[in-house]
Each structure stands twice: as C-alpha cells, then as structure tokens.
Amino acid sequence: MTFRVPRGTYDILPEEQTRWDLVTATGEKVARQFGYGRISTPLFEATDLFERGVGVDTDIVQKEMYTFEDHGGDSLTLRPEGTAGVCRAYIQHGMHNQPQPVRLYYMGAMFRYERPQAGRLRQHHQFGVEAIGDGSAQVDAEVIELALGFLSGIGMEGLTVKLNSIGDGDCRPAYLEALRDYFRPHAGGLSGVDRARLERSPLRLLDSKEAGTAELCAGAPHSVDFLDDQCLNHWNELLGYVEDLKLLYSDFKFQIDHRLVRGLDYYTRTVFEIHPPDVGAQSSVLSGGRYDGLIEELGGASTPGIGFGSGIERHILNLSRQESESCGGDAPEVVIIHLGRAATRACVLLAAQLRLRGVRTVLAPGRSMRGQLRYADSLSAGFALIIGQQELERGTASLKSLSDGKQTDVALDAERVAASLRA
RNA sequence: GUGGGCGUAGUGUAGUGGUUAACACGUCAGGUUGUGGCCCUGAAGAUCGAGGGUUCGAGUCCCUCCGCUCACCCCA
C-alpha cells in the first residue's frame, strides 16, 4: 500500500455517483421550488467566525476543527458547518437590503476532526438551507416543510420528526436554573462528565446517554413550560402549522421531544431533528433550528434566522439500507471499432464529430477486432460502429446493434451515423 | 480521547507450524483470414499490513506499532 485517502474521507467512485446525484439533485430541485437560491461560501473562514458563531464551549470548536495558520499568519478553519459562513455572507453583502427573509441553500463539504464510524466522517457533505430576516413561525414551518419535501423526494421512509422549543435569551436562564435545581440533588449519582455539564451547560444533560442520567431526565422540567409569552406564542403557532403538515406528510412520525437540545450554541426557540428508523449510531439525518441571535453575534444588526443542515452521506447510507436499486445510465451509445492506421485516423475524427452532435461515443482501444468488440460489450454499449479498410474505400461504415447483433451499412458521415443511432 | 472486531493479488475468499501461498470474479492476450456476450486456453497481478520474538521451520503462535471497521463521546 502506498497512498490511501486520509482517515475519515473517501472517494466517490463512478458507480456511486448516480445515487449521489439523486440526493443532491433532489435537494436543489426542492430548494428552488421553495424560492431558495444557491449560495456557495468558501471552504475555510476566519477561525473567529466559528468560535463566535458555533460557540467556544461546543465540542465542535473545542476539539473538532481543522484550524491552521496560513503564510500570512491568519488563523483559518475548514468549515465544520454551513450556517456561520452563510450568515457572514448575509452581513458582508448587505442582504438585509433585500426582501426579507433571504432564502438560501447550500451544498458542500464540511470538515470535523472526529473518529470515523458509520455515517460519521472527517469530510462529509451537507445540503442545508437558511431563511434569514424573518422571525415568524410561518418561516419555521416553511423550513420544516422543505425538509420533509426533500426527504420524501429522495425516497426516505419511516422517518421521525422531533421538535422542541428551547426559548431564547430572555426566558432560557430561568429554565436552566430549574434544570440545575432538579439535577443537583442527584449530582452524586451522575458521571463525571454529566456533573461538569450540570453547571456549565445543563441543557446537555438532557441528551446524555449515561444510563442513570437518562432515567432522571424523564422527570426533568420541560423547556416549553418556561417559555415567555413571545416564545410561547411562537411555539404554539408553529405547532398549529405542524398539525397541517402532518396531514400532508403522513409517512413521517412527528413527536415533541422535550429532551431535544442541540450541540451548537446559536439555537433559539425552535429546534428540530429528523431521525431514521434504525436506532443506529448516526442519530439524525437532518437537523436545524432557529438562531435569532447569531447575526448580531457575528457583528450584524439584530436579525432572526432559521435553517437546517442534512448529511448527504447519511442519506445515502439509509437509502442503500432501503435497497434502492442502483441504475447505471451512462453507457456509451456507440463504440467505434477501427482496423488499420488509416481507419484509426478517420475514426478519431468521426468520434469527435459524433460527440459534437451529443452522441456518447467511445473509441475502442487498438486491439484485434474481436478484442474491440469484447471491449464494446463490456461497456454495455448500444452499438458498435465498425470501420476498416473496406469501409474507407466504400465510404460506409457497419453499424452493429449489440443487443440483437443486426448489422447495417451507413454512410461514413457523422450526421448520417448520428441519425441512424437515434432511429 | 476510550473500547471491541478485523488486516492474504484490483475485489471477495481458502489456507491442521512444514516444499514453488490456492480459488472465484475482474484485467490483459489468444482460441487461423475483419464480428461481442457463453465456452476454452494462457498471462500478469501478493515482499500474506509493518517490525521484532519463539522455532530446525511462521500466512499460521507471542509482543509492539500502523491501518481499516464498529461503538462510546459528540454530531450531519
């Protein structure tokens, strides 16, 4: 073995591209249908952007970022998620001057230094959307609807939508205090990790998988019971919209999950995750929420926003579990078989002319005729076009159908050949 | 960072401590003059993950490291 892909990365080989294209094409189609425009931001940004956007205390910033100093001494970081960069672009390009909300989607690679496992990579790809500049619940519903449309579009089955509201900067402190009060009496029974969480970020206790903690969580106070009037109105309004969505997307299960919190600091009010049926390691395939404080935190005017990110590799993983058949649709229409030097010269030209006419054309390698036909067959080509000395002299070519073996003569002319292929 | 499983041609596998490491698929070349698939023949392709140790002898037993993989943490 010499070189391998770096750990946690992988090559997408031609055979896998069709499945990949299905996911990405569906994402783009659905996003456009909802009026979202594509944005592509750089793969790396100033390290500060992620530290402030994602949150210094998060695992992502603490131990998962690919950070490096460039030759000019700037600290840069390969993006670990998509929202921070999009918000930076929103501010930088004065998008608050556009009609609000600004609807954007993105598709691209994300980087996190993790130990790889199923559905977990160091470089993975996300399709995500952001709706920035409108804080109303109808936008929450729109983003969730877009997620449902996307997932059903790629053929995912048996998904569960989990939903929660974690309040905002005004009402969350009271909830955090209530959580601490609830857990403190049991602190002695908590693991070391969870005890640290108790003081620093009690929300995280809720999604702890430590056996004892999980049981305790059943009786823990619910964030929705601590929402202030505005947050509560927002939440109730959203729940109304969700009732309607349930009817339209009856394949999905919906549940309010009081223990749903997110690992990124910027979320406010609405948070949601969509989970596949198999309770596997890779928990959610799509997740997002509202981030009404993020733009301001990054130096813009106070601006609400909401979005989601979804892992393309996880979708593909789940799709193959559903045994969706892989279809290869780009076999060549014609393989040109050439015998002799003069014929080869003519065939190189003819191949170029056919390609200019949109025909998927492959020139066979310089082998025996039998070898070239075998080659055409191994590529699953539709036709073989045979050209040797005889054909050159007559000004014709033999067009052989590789499905039924029938052979006809056509004039040695790209236009005629293309027409025959399409007949 | 922690733990479990696994490392033999490109791929998938076989190989009671004992000669030249086997098979299938794939690749390439042939199977008379210019006609594919099936079939037949042949060839190339592996320092058995790496390094040490035990032994007359190691792909096989032991140790270390590396890699892959699954899981924990966390996440998409």
- Cα separation values, A392 from A330, A412, A414, A417, Å: 30, 8, 14, 14
pLDDT digits (tens, 9 = 90+) for A300-310: 999 999 999 99
**B30 C1' closest Cα residue:** A371
What is the reported pLDDT for A204?
78
Which nucleotide C1' is nearest A284 CA? Answer: B76
Q: Among residues A385, A388, A389, which one has the least CA distance to residue A399?
A: A385
pLDDT digits (tens, 9 = 90+) for A144-184: 999 999 999 999 888 999 999 999 988 888 998 888 888 88
Q: CA at A402, C1' at B31: how many angstroms apart?
A: 22
Which nucleotide C1' is nearest A119 CA? Answer: B76
List bases in chain B with any atom under 7 Å of a protein Cβ.
1-3, 26-31, 34-37, 49, 67-76
What is the C-alpha to C-alpha distance for residues A349 and A345, in angstroms, rounded to an integer?
7
Q: CA at A119, C1' at B49: how many angstroms apart?
A: 25
CB atoms within 10 A of CB A283: 14
Low-confidence ranges of chain A (pLDDT < 70): 1, 191-193, 209-211, 263, 278-282, 321-329
Q: What is the mean pLDDT of chain A?
A: 91
- Cα separation values, A345 from A103, A366, A370, A392, A398, Å: 53, 12, 20, 11, 17
Which nucleotide C1' is nearest A54 CA? Answer: B75
Note the CATH number of domain A14-171+227-321. 3.30.930.10
Tokens for A350? 């003819």
Q: CA at A2, C1' at B53: how many angstroms apart?
A: 27
Q: CA at A400, C1' at B61: how many angstroms apart?
A: 61
Ranges for all domains in chain A classified under CATH 3.30.930.10: 14-171+227-321
What is the reported pLDDT for A283?
76
Q: What's the alpha-carbon Rg for chain A, to the nearest Å?
A: 28
Beta-bridged to residue A218, according to DSSP, are none
What is the C-alpha to C-alpha distance for residues A210 and A202, in angstroms, rounded to an integer?
14
Q: CA at A359, C1' at B31: how many angstroms apart?
A: 34
Contact present, A336 and A362 (Cβ < 8 Å): yes
Ranges for all domains in chain A classified under CATH 3.40.50.800: 334-422
CB neighbour burial string for A17-44, b if at least 16 within 10 angstroms, e if fewer? eebeebbbebbbebbeebebeebebebb
What is the C-alpha to C-alpha distance for residues A306 and A211, in angstroms, rounded to an integer?
33
Which nucleotide C1' is nearest A390 CA? Answer: B34
**B70 C1' closest Cα residue:** A117
Contact present, A401 and A414 (Cβ < 8 Å): no
Q: CA at A2, C1' at B48: how many angstroms apart?
A: 17
Q: Which CATH fold topology does A334-422 show?
A: Rossmann fold (3.40.50)
What interface predicted TM-score (ipTM) does this complex get? Answer: 0.88
Contacts of A296 (CB under 8 A, 6+ apart): A302, A303
